[in-house]
Amino acid sequence: MTTVDPYPVAGGSVADGAGTAPPGTPYPAPRAPIAAGPATPQTARRGGGGDPVKALLHRHRELCERAVDALEVAAGLEAHGITDRTAARFRHRDVFSLAEELYARTPRGEAPTPAPARTPAGPRAVRRFGYALLPGALTFGAAATGTPWTGPLAVLLTAGALVWPGRWARGRFPYAVHLLAAAVVGWAVHRHGAALGAALALAVAPGHLAGTYYAARARRRLAGSRVLEDFAAGSRPLLAGVLLPFGAAAAGAAALAGADPAAAVPLAVLLFLVRLLLRHGAHRAPLAAALALALVPAPAAVAAAAAGLLVHAVLALSRASAHARP
């Protein structure tokens, strides 16, 4: 089977730097061999008509004009399927180097305004953490007073905690994942009692803290990376570094609510992964499949769903495009 290169470079391969362009190629062959090494905006312009980066800039002009820095361009290019190997065909060592040239060559009417610094603390961060505390506080208070509608309240509040980050997810049927999450929590509360619902509601707050910490550290790691493979390798232990403390916090929430940790922790981890992937723009189909598996009336169904979604999270969150600013 023959594949067609979506980003052909006129004039042959990068290695030889010469060749004859086929008929209909929009770029004429280069007049002389080009020395190896990363290109800069100045060296790229010397190519005259044989400038493949110019066509790439035209294709992704909206992305380059909207980006606030070269990192945004790099994440967008990766989301469009451009890898370090593709960047080498444009005479760049990696996607970051290619993104820097595209960002530098994008015409702008005025100097771009730098993105405001995001501090981990502040009124907005405190307010969001307060919202994350509400499900646990309300549900635990209802359970402590023996309110009969503690279970439905836990289902509503726990599933509702997924809605806010879910606005960045991609795919059709935007609320299908939230409805499935509500069904999963409701089914678990029906089988194991209202104490499990209270434990899941209490786990919303540590889940919010873990997700916020992960997003900040991943963004910082992305800013310090120069090759996509390096970022992917560093993002995997970062995910494990937030998942393990969250699992411990979920176990503590189960003990506080009087629920069975063997039932509460796998389900809390599943919901945490769903929330994390929704916040980072993942497609809804794998999330819906994992939640549908958790509805199977089998003891190991929830643990299997959480394990499968963890594998998907490791792959999806190791992409730079998952950590671009929404």
Residue 220 clears pLDDT 90, i.e. is over it: no
Residue with more model confidence, 223 or 41: 223
151 touches 116 (CB < 8 A): no
Residue 162 clears pLDDT 50, i.e. is over it: yes
Mean pLDDT (the chain) is 75
**Ordered DSSP codes for 279-292:** HTT-BHHHHHHHHH
pLDDT for the residue 247: 95
76 touches 321 (CB < 8 A): yes
- How many Å separate Cα 235 from the centre of its chain? 11
Question: For the ranges 84-93, 256-265, 307-316, which has the lowest average pLDDT?
Answer: 84-93
Residue 17 clears pLDDT 50, i.e. is over it: no
197 touches 139 (CB < 8 A): yes
Residue 234: pLDDT band (50, 70, 90) is confident
Enumerate the H helices of 145-282 as residue ranges: 150-160, 176-192, 194-202, 204-224, 228-257, 261-279
pLDDT for the residue 45: 42
Share of the chain above pLDDT 70, in %: 72
pLDDT for the residue 33: 35
pLDDT for the residue 271: 93
pLDDT for the residue 262: 95
Residue 135: pLDDT band (50, 70, 90) is confident
Residue 189 clears pLDDT 80, i.e. is over it: yes
pLDDT for the residue 312: 94
pLDDT for the residue 164: 64
Question: For the ranges 22-26, 52-56, 175-179, 271-275, which has the lowest average pLDDT?
Answer: 22-26
CA dist., res. 48 & res. 70, Å (int): 24
pLDDT for the residue 37: 41
CA dist., res. 52 & res. 7, Å (int): 9
Question: For the ranges 110-124, 133-147, 260-274, 284-298, which has the lowest average pLDDT?
Answer: 110-124
Around 218, how many Cα atoms within 13 Å sit in the side-chain half-sphere?
A: 31
Residue with more model confidence, 143 or 169: 143
Q: In the chain, how many H helices and how many E strands?
A: 15, 0
Residue 3 clears pLDDT 60, i.e. is over it: no
In which element (H, E) is residue 43 found? helix 41-45
pLDDT for the residue 119: 43
Residue whose structure tokens are 């090494």: 37
pLDDT for the residue 307: 96
Residue 5, C-beta contacts closer than 8 angstroms, at least 6 positions apart? 89
Question: For the ranges 60-69, 183-192, 308-317, which has the lowest average pLDDT?
Answer: 60-69
Report CA dihedral (132, 138, 141, 146) to the nearest 10 degrees.
-140
Residue 28 clears pLDDT 50, i.e. is over it: no
How far, in Å, are 64, 103, 106 from residue 110 at the CA level? 14, 14, 11
pLDDT digits (tens, 9 = 90+) for 75-126: 788 888 888 788 888 887 778 778 777 877 787 654 444 444 444 456 777 8
pLDDT for the residue 6: 52
